[in-house]
Amino acid sequence: MTVRLSKRVQRVSLSANAAAKSRATELRDAGRDILDLTTGEPDFDTPEHIKQAAYAAIAAGATKYTPTPGVKALRVAVQRKLAEENHLDYSLPNIVIANGAKQIIFNAFAATLDDGDQVLVPTPYWPSFPDSVRFNGGEPVFIECGLEQGCKLLPAQLEQHINQRTRWLILNGPGNPSGAVYSEVELQALAEVLRRHPQVLVLLDELYEHIRFDGRPAQSLLNVAPDLQDRCLLVGGVSKTYAMTGWRIGFGAGPQTLTNAMAVVQSQSTSGASSVGQAAALAAFTGGLGFLAEQVAAYQLRRDLLMMALGTVDGLEVLEPQGGFFVFVRCAGLLGRYRPDGQRLNDDGDVVAYLLEEGVAGVAGSAYGLSPWFRLSIATATDSVAEAGRRIAVACGKLRGVE
């Protein structure tokens, strides 16, 4: 018997990040010396007080079903976090908890998109953005934001792409994969365009909000344009800041009509998030950020080491990330060159495959909608990042010129 798959599932694909990591793992298991810079997952452990809160929750029997919108105590903690850290005022019904920020995004699109509705996706993008749109019947509209503009959306581009079918704009900062951070002036300019188009909702993915290298606190579009709050969904979670990727807890803060509808969607898919995970997240949001400065300093050191190693390599152009876990590298200058084995580098997939042979695993920029680039994660050991930079520089030096 042949299983007939839905058109919906055929519109999407498996994560390119996961595929790259799987290939790197295969080679390492086979005995190859591979430095894995594919995944945006902190190499730091979850802080001890958070783990202890999870143990205590289990011991106390907090292992039952949870309310679909989230445990009240956690939603109150998110409300307080948004007020104290982000200077944003939300009522409790405006906050919903899910099994990770990815589910928040999926639920939002499931609750709002009809077939043919358009979502503006600045490129480069996190791959789950367009696939979540497609799965829910929408049409992603890509807006290329290249190196010359720091991989950030310009107001003129936004204005040009809005039409009657535009339902959402996605803004991600600090960006994955770019590490780009919008300034207050840049956010104000985008807000001016959005005010002229009140039908457009805005999804603000701010998972990396505290991983910034400019010493400034997190800043959102809503801090410079509070009048847009009733049409924005702010997406956050515990995975990046608190090194809790596997705990799968994310939150959304937005208009009550939207958060109510997102809870309805979730009630028919997964229901409430893990009781133990929510207890841990509660401890995270109430336990302070005293541990964070040391971690951010480590990420910044890794960024600097990688940029120093790659910044003078002929054929590479490195975008300096202002935050997040990644260094995004333009490799157009390598295309047309030849590997030592005679193979020609035709695209960024070829470049990434060559670097893997040379001992460094990254992800091709095509996975993020922008070629020819590749992404390297700095969420791994500092020595590994430094050695990866050295290996890439050596590998590029072995290439022969265009023939």
Closest by CA position to 175, among listed 141, 136, 134, 147: 147
Is the confidence at residue 209, as pLDDT, over 70? yes
Contact 204, 233 (CB under 8 A): yes
Q: What is the pTM of this model?
A: 0.96
DSSP class of residue 254? -
| Mean pLDDT on 194-208 | 97
Tell me whether the omega of the peptide bond preceding residue 226 falls within 30 degrees of 0, making it cis.
no
Strand partners, 318: 329
How far apart are the C-alpha atoms of 99 and 363, rounded to whole Å?
A: 26
Q: How many Cα neighbours within 13 Å face the side chain of 102?
A: 13
DSSP string computed for 82-140? HHHHS-----GGGEEEESSHHHHHHHHHHHH--TT-EEEEEES--THHHHHHHHTT-EE
**pLDDT 10s digits, 238-277:** 999 999 999 999 999 999 999 999 999 999 999 999 999 9
Residue 238 tokens read as 């515990």
78 φ/ψ sector (left φ>0, alpha ψ -120 to 50, else beta): alpha
**Distance linking the first and last C-alpha atoms of the chain:** 51
**pLDDT 10s digits, 268-326:** 999 999 999 999 999 999 999 999 999 999 999 999 999 999 999 999 999 999 999 99
| Residue with more model confidence, 217 or 143 | 143
pLDDT score for 403:
57
Closest by CA position to 171, among listed 189, 199, 184, 190: 190
Evaluated on CA atoms 386, 388, 393, 397, the torsion sign reads positive
The burial class, CB within 10 Å (0-12 / 13-18 / 19+), for 7 is exposed
Residue 10 tokens read as 């055929």
pLDDT score for 33:
93
pLDDT score for 16:
76
Strand partners, 212: 323
Contact 21, 38 (CB under 8 A): yes
How far apart are the C-alpha atoms of 338 and 346, rounded to whole Å?
A: 9
What's the whole-number average pLDDT of the chain? 96
Contact 270, 99 (CB under 8 A): yes
**pLDDT 10s digits, 19-53:** 788 888 888 889 999 999 999 899 999 999 999 99
Q: Which residues contact 146 (CB under 8 A, 6 or more apart)?
A: 370
116 φ/ψ sector (left φ>0, alpha ψ -120 to 50, else beta): left
Q: Could you tell me the pLDDT band of residue 402, with boundaries at 50, 70 and 90?
A: low
DSSP class of residue 354? H
pLDDT score for 217:
78
DSSP class of residue 229? G
Long-range contacts made by residues 242-246, C-beta under 8 angstroms, separation at least 24? 242/46, 242/47, 242/50, 242/284, 243/42, 243/44, 243/45, 243/46, 243/47, 243/295, 244/46, 244/50, 244/280, 244/281, 244/284, 245/41, 245/42
Closest by CA position to 389, among listed 343, 355, 342, 365: 355
Long-range contacts made by residues 51-58, C-beta under 8 angstroms, separation at least 24? 51/280, 52/283, 53/279, 53/280, 53/282, 53/283, 54/276, 54/277, 54/279, 54/280, 54/283, 56/279, 57/275, 57/276, 57/279, 57/280, 58/276
pLDDT score for 346:
97
